[in-house]
Each structure stands twice: as C-alpha cells, then as structure tokens.
Structure 1
Amino acid sequence: MTERLYYQDPYIQHFTSQILKQGADENGAYVVLQETAFYPTGGGQPCDIGTLNHAQVTRVEEIEGEIRHYTSEALSGTVTGQIDWSRRFDHMQQHAGQHILSAAFAEKFGIPTISFHLGRDSSTIDLQIEELSQETVLAAEELANEIVFNNIPIEVRWMNEEEANTLPLRKKPKVTENIRIVMIKNFDYSGCGGTHPNRTGEVGAIKIVDWQRHKGHVRLTFLCGWRSIRTLQEKQTIVKDVVRLLNSKERDVASKLANLIETQKELEKSLRESHEQLLAHEANTLSRTARIHPNGKLIAAISHHSISDLAKMSAMLTQDSEAIVLLVTQTDDKIQCICACGQSIEQNMNEVLKSVLPLINGKGGGNAKSARGGGEASISAEDLLEQLIIKVSS
C-alpha cells in the first residue's frame, strides 16, 4: 500500500517516490506510488493536484485500495512530486472551518450536521433542521470565530473503537479500527480523514454567506480564510463602485437604490401607458383607412411595430365585428404578419395565413378569428400584404 505522507505531515509540499504501478481506467492513465503527499478525493474534500516530474497531476482517486495519480503524460522510475500548495492549504482551511462551524451549531443549539461539501468557490453543510433564523446563524458564526481567534491546537490521533468512545465525539465513526480523530480541545472531536492545519488560527475568518431549505433540511454556505478575504475584497470593490455611481454615502446606498427602483417602476408604467395610447392612436388611424370589401371592412397595412404590438392593434381593430385586419412587419431578414377579423366575418383567418406561409418558408398558426406567423424575407412586405389581400378577396 502507498504510504500516505499527507497524514504524517499535511504541510509537505515536495517529495520523491518510486512508481509501483502504471495503468489506465475510465478516468485515464495513472500511476501508483510507493509514497505520496497527494490527497485523494474523499470525505467531502477534493483531491490535490500538482506535478510529478514535469507531468501534470490532474486528478487523484483512491480506487480498489490504490491511490491513483492521473497524469498528463507517461512516467516511469523515480519521480519528484510537487503539490499545488495554495489549493491544498485552501482545502485545509475550509475543512477545519467546517469542523469548527458544525461544532458551533451542535454546541450552542444542538443542531447536527448531516453532510459536507467542499466546493471550488464555497463550501456547504447540511444541518438537520427545517428552519434557521438569522439570530441563530450569527450566534453560531460568532462562536466559530472565537475558536479561530483563540488559536487552539488541532491534534490528530489514530485510535481503536474503545479509545474513541472515551471522547465526546460529535458523530460516531463508521469504522471500528484505525479511527482517525481530529481534536480541537474542549470543543470538537470528530472522526475525519481530511487534511487540517495545526491550529485554528490558520483557518482564518469564517463567514456564513447564505442558507436555505434543501430537501427538508437547511443547506448553509460558508467561506473560510483566504476565500473570506477575496470575497470581502470583491464585495468592497462593488460597493465602492455603487457608492461612486450613486454619489452617496455607503450607509445610504440601500435607501437610494430603493428610491431609484421605485422611480424606475413608475417610469416603466408611464412608458407602457404611453405606448398603449400610441398603439390605440395608430389603430384608430388605421380604422379610418378601412376599405369596403365584399366580406367586410378591409384594413391592410405595413407597420414597423413588433408582432406583439401588431397583435394588440389587431385586437383593438377587430372590436368592429365587420373588420378584416391584415398587418405585416419586416425586420432585416425576417418577415411576420397578423391576420384577424371581427365576430361577424365568416372567413377563416388561419387558412388565409397558411396559404401565404410557403412564400416565406414560414411557420405559424392560430384560429379562425386570429392567426399569426413569420418566416424569411424572401419577398417584400408589400408583396406579402398583396398576397394576403388577394387571398381574403378570393
């Protein structure tokens, strides 16, 4: 079996080893080493990456008792490993931070953690509770950060089930031998196979950024250490930009934005009302162009409006039960039309539309009283309108 250097010292960044085996599986080509400092995926913690000689180690998995290092090129003999330390230390901060945060919820409120996921940008824990108040979240976060600032040693011990049972374990281990216990004295004792820093102070600030219901529990998202700092920097940059754009003090940003949003809503409402009035005015103008037709009053026109606006105008015009409305609009290489009629008109508008769609390689449909469609501008808007007029006149 491969000797696990990351358990001897999680701060090892360089090592030399012999290749014991080469192979390939569904994940690609891999090597198995005599010893390794690369942590394999497991226990909610992603694997380490880095290099073996000049080959990139893109993935590390423990499969069938082997720690498989998947590399970008073939290797043989003796290799020198280099861990991506920034990634490893980030995982150490997040994993230890999870222990502290989970223990804070358990210690202060009796809320157990049922799962943990360490993501690329943030981490989550699922808490065995259906609702979580802001007061509870802030109190647990404060306790967690107290543990960080007290810079308590984080100790790791291997023990059997009997020894483990003498400790106030937060969760019962799944194994009975070679149990690895991560201990924060007088605060948290947990069975864990992940990598952790030597003291809680190295975890850095713990910040809960979100929580929401998830499958009957609460999923809580948090950041630790450098992730907290980077996120604070990003948010501070955003706040400074908003303050500058609003010409406001930071504490007044929320109220000023609320006022702007309310003003925008009023302007949008006013704009919609004005637009509706414009459509009504144009529909009224078009109604005066109606021509006496054997089947009713024919209103045919080319418009610059969108198809949705044409639909609104046709609805206004067909309030006249004798109206037959044909409206066409064209934008660049697309042409669209509306065919509609009033209640007393017996002609089928869907059939009228379908008769001209082949001319524009188009699609569309509707019912006997209103239909719309569109296609390629292979003929002009004028020609399409003329064909529609011919169809309703035939």
Structure 2
Amino acid sequence: MRPEQLESGVRTFQTSIQSTKETEGYWVALEKSYFYPESGGQPADCGTLNDQPVLDVQIEEGIVWHQLAAPITGEVTGIVDDAVRMDHAAQHTAQHVISAILQDEAQIKTLSFRTGSEVSTLDIETPEWTALQQEQLERRLRHVIEQGLPITATEYDEAEVLQLPLRKTPQVEGRIRVVQIGTLDYSACGGTHLDSTAQLELILFTGVERIRGNIRLSYVAKERAYRLVQAERQALREAAQALSIKPVQIIEAVHALQDEQKRLAKQIEQTEGQLVTLELINALQQHEGLLVIEHEQEEIRLSERLAKAIQEANRTGVVFNATTTKLLMSGNGELHLGKFAKAHVQSFNGRGGGNAIQAQAQFTNRDDAMAYVDRLREEYQS
C-alpha cells in the first residue's frame, strides 16, 4: 500500500524530490508522498509542496506525480489539505455504504461512481427508481450511520482475497487492498475513507435521472449535506418572507402562484390575439399588394402570430421585428417565398429560407431588411 493508505492520518510530511518532468506544467515525484492521486472516481488531494499549491496529483506506472505552477528543488515540506481529504473520504465512504445496501437488499449493482465538486453521482444497474425504493434506502442509511460500523483497510494476497465476500471481483492481481465496513461491505479499493460510518453523520440525495437505460443517483454526505440543508433552509425562509407567509405554507403558495400564472398566460394570449386581429384589419384597410408591418418593441412571439394571421387571410406580407432584426414572410402561394429568400437574402447581408408560403430571414440591421423588402415588393408586383 502507498504511504497515504498505510498512514491515512498524516497531513504534514518531509521528503525529497525523486524525479521531475514537464508535460503541460511542472510535475514532481517524491521519495515519499501522502497525497492521494486521482483514481477510481475519487478526485486527487489538494495541498502544498513548499508552500506552492499542488494543482493535480496523478499516478502513472506506480509513480505518484504532483503538478505545480513552478519547479521546486531540494528538500520538500508537503501539507495535505485536511478539509478536502475528509470531504472526499466522506463522499467515497457514502458510496461504499449506498452500493452495499443496494446490492444486498435489492440486488442492484453499482456501475460507476464519481465525486464532483458539488455533488457525487452513483450510476446503478436498474431501469427505474421508485419513491418506495428511495425511502427504504434512506431508512437503512440512517440505521448504518447510527450503528457506527468500523471501517478498516487491509492488504491481502490474491488467494486470501478470493475467500472474502467481496461485492465485486477485483481487477488487479498480487497484493490487494480491501476496505471493510463492519460486515456490511468488503470492497477492493485504493481510495480514502472515514474510520466509522458514524462519521458520515448525514447523507442527502439531491437528484435522480435516467442515464442510458439505468439510474443515476446524486448525493452529498457529511459537511456537504449540512451545507445543503442550511442553504435550502435559508432559501425557504427568504421565500416565505417574500410571500409574507410561514415556511410550511410554501407549497400552498406555489400552487396558488402557478394557477395565477396560468390565468395570466391565458389572458395574455387572448389579448395578443385581439391585438393581432386589430393590427391585421388596419393593415388590410391601408395597404394593397404586399403588406409590410414593422414591430419596433414587440416580442417575436407577437410578430409570428401576425405573420400567421396574414397567411390565414390569404394575403402576402412581411413582419419585421426590430428587437431580433428578423423578417417573417407569409403568403398565399402567388410568390414562392422560400425560393425568393434563397436567391436574394445573401445579397442583403442576411440568411434564411423557407417554403412556398412561409419564410424568414435574419439581417444585421433594419436598412438591409427594408432593402430586401423593396426587392421582394418589386418581384411581387411584377
């Protein structure tokens, strides 16, 4: 086992440089390192070497390399960031516990695991995940945490390992490190872990999603879980204060706001329909031939509705939306708008296309759009 595996409590150490290399930065290998290198879904440790931040830690052919911004020489003082180490150990330990419970109680295998900067994810081999399964898992997790099961790491010969009730067959040969959590879990693993399940304190699930036919669970453990609780409670308090209600009334208030939003959306849609009708009537009364309408501040949605109304009125016209510099064209088939756009829009620094009765084009400015409209009017009147 490596030094950080044998003496997991070491945070400050003295050593010397064994070798160096330059590959997208400066890298040093030490005579003895207590930094955990990125591996198995667990991020690398953070910390310093001679007060210089360690940017990354990777292992290649058994050698642990530390990335730095500038080269160092001579004797080295290494300091492993305890907060980061404990955080990663907590997320990793939580993964072991969750995976063991799922396999023991539901015969659901773990496919992959990753500790992210905010949440950790666990991909499990099952096509669906129910609220009942979630409740049962959370209940069992609380029990395991309360039990305070001891967590140990022991190195065995390959023959000895095969006698253990491992959750997964190891992919390595020779001496194999096995992490044991009471009698709950035996896993071949090189990562960092807590000393007891009681140190997990709290595990919260933050999301469930379907990934390639299986399920991905997102979670946080220990300090991350407490920070999430605090953040969500603060957000709940602020939301309740903004609505002048009690926090327990949030759901009721949200439902009321959703109903009001639907009512207002329907009212807006009806009002927009009336505006479009009036604008179309006015345009039909004032213009013959090609209808040309400009919207200076209207949302593109309203312009699109007007263009559709022009087509339904069996007329040909354009609506220019100044906010988006987009020209919407609709017609009755007398002039193939899509072919015209394809033939001419680039000449006016625009791009677009469409079919016989509907087309649109994007321009860099109004002048180019209006010049295109003039050319379209000439074609339409000819």
TM-score, normalised on structure 1?
0.84
Q: Deviations over 1:8-56 (max 9, x none)?
A: 221211000011111123x432111110110111122111121110322
**2: CA distance, partners of 1:271 / 1:369:** 27
**2: CA distance, partners of 1:111 / 1:20:** 44
Q: Deviations over 1:106-146 (max 9, x none)?
A: 23223222322122111122222222222222222222222
**1: CA distance, partners of 2:53 / 2:204:** 33
Shift of 1:83: 0.8
Q: Which residue of 1 aligns with 2:21?
A: 23
**2: CA distance, partners of 1:165 / 1:364:** 66
**2: CA distance, partners of 1:185 / 1:252:** 43
**2: CA distance, partners of 1:95 / 1:307:** 49
TM-score, normalised on structure 2?
0.87
Q: Which residue of 2 aligns with 1:257?
A: 254
SS of the residue 1:22 aligns to:
strand
**2: CA distance, partners of 1:249 / 1:271:** 31
Give the alignment partner of residue 208 of structure 2, picking from 195, 198, 211: 211
Q: Which residue of 2 aligns with 1:294?
A: none
Q: Which moved more, 1:187-196 or 1:357-366?
A: 357-366
Q: Which residue of 1 aligns with 2:241?
A: 244
User: How many corresponding residue pairs?
Assistant: 381
Q: Residue 352 of structure 1 contacts residue 392 of structure 1 at CA under 8 Å; is this kept in 2?
A: no
Q: Deviations over 1:288-341 (max 9, x none)?
A: 2245xxxxx5655555455664454354445555x554655645xx75555655
Q: Deviations over 1:167-200 (max 9, x none)?
A: 3222222234211111122222221111112222
1:159 aligns with 2:156: yes
Q: Which residue of 1 aligns with 2:169?
A: 172
Query: Which residue identity is paired with 1:206?
Result: I
Sort the Cα spacing of 1:206 and 1:339 in 2 relative to 1 into closer, same or farther, 3 A.
closer
Shift of 1:147: 1.8
Q: Which moved more, 1:372-381 or 1:262-271?
A: 372-381
Give the alignment partner of residue 375 of structure 1, picking from 347, 352, 363: 363
Sort the Cα spacing of 1:205 and 1:376 in 2 relative to 1 into closer, same or farther, 3 A.
closer
Sort the Cα spacing of 1:299 and 1:216 in 2 relative to 1 into closer, same or farther, 3 A.
closer
Q: Which residue of 2 aligns with 1:9?
A: 7
How high is the sequence identity, in percent, across the aligned residues? Answer: 28
Match runs of 1:347-362 below 5 Å: 361-362=349-350
Query: Which residue identity is paired with 2:10?
Result: I
Query: Which residue identity is paired with 2:363?
Result: G
Q: Residue 306 of structure 2 contacts residue 319 of structure 2 at CA under 8 Å; is this kept in 1?
A: no
Sort the Cα spacing of 1:280 and 1:49 in 2 relative to 1 into closer, same or farther, 3 A.
same
Q: Which residue of 2 aligns with 1:277?
A: 274
SS of the residue 2:281 aligns to:
helix
Shift of 1:381: 9.0
Q: Residue 359 of structure 1 contacts residue 378 of structure 1 at CA under 8 Å; is this kept in 2?
A: no
Give the alignment partner of residue 141 of structure 1, picking from 132, 138, 141: 138
Sort the Cα spacing of 1:118 and 1:285 in 2 relative to 1 into closer, same or farther, 3 A.
same
**2: CA distance, partners of 1:367 / 1:15:** 72
Give the alignment partner of residue 60 of structure 1, picking from 57, 60, 80: 57
Sort the Cα spacing of 1:279 and 1:75 in 2 relative to 1 into closer, same or farther, 3 A.
same
Q: Deviations over 1:243-286 (max 9, x none)?
A: 12222232331232122112211211111111111110121122
**1: CA distance, partners of 2:321 / 2:110:** 60
**1: CA distance, partners of 2:321 / 2:215:** 52
Sort the Cα spacing of 1:188 and 1:285 in 2 relative to 1 into closer, same or farther, 3 A.
same
Q: Which residue of 2 aligns with 1:71?
A: 68
Gaps of 5+ in 2: none
Q: Residue 29 of structure 1 contacts residue 70 of structure 1 at CA under 8 Å; is this kept in 2?
A: yes
Q: Which moved more, 1:203-212 or 1:28-37?
A: 203-212
Q: Which moved more, 1:110-119 or 1:355-364?
A: 355-364
**1: CA distance, partners of 2:177 / 2:349:** 70
SS of the residue 1:170 aligns to:
coil
Gaps of 5+ in 1: 292-296
Q: Residue 10 of structure 1 contacts residue 197 of structure 1 at CA under 8 Å; is this kept in 2?
A: no
Q: Which moved more, 1:269-278 or 1:202-211?
A: 202-211
Q: Residue 37 of structure 2 contacts residue 57 of structure 2 at CA under 8 Å; is this kept in 1?
A: yes
**1: CA distance, partners of 2:366 / 2:348:** 6
Q: Deviations over 1:339-386 (max 9, x none)?
A: 65546xx56666887898688544444455555445344749988877
Give the alignment partner of residue 306 of structure 2, picking from 310, 313, 327: 313
**2: CA distance, partners of 1:62 / 1:279:** 66
Query: Which residue identity is paired with 2:241?
Result: R
**2: CA distance, partners of 1:392 / 1:51:** 74
Q: Which residue of 2 aligns with 1:118?
A: 115
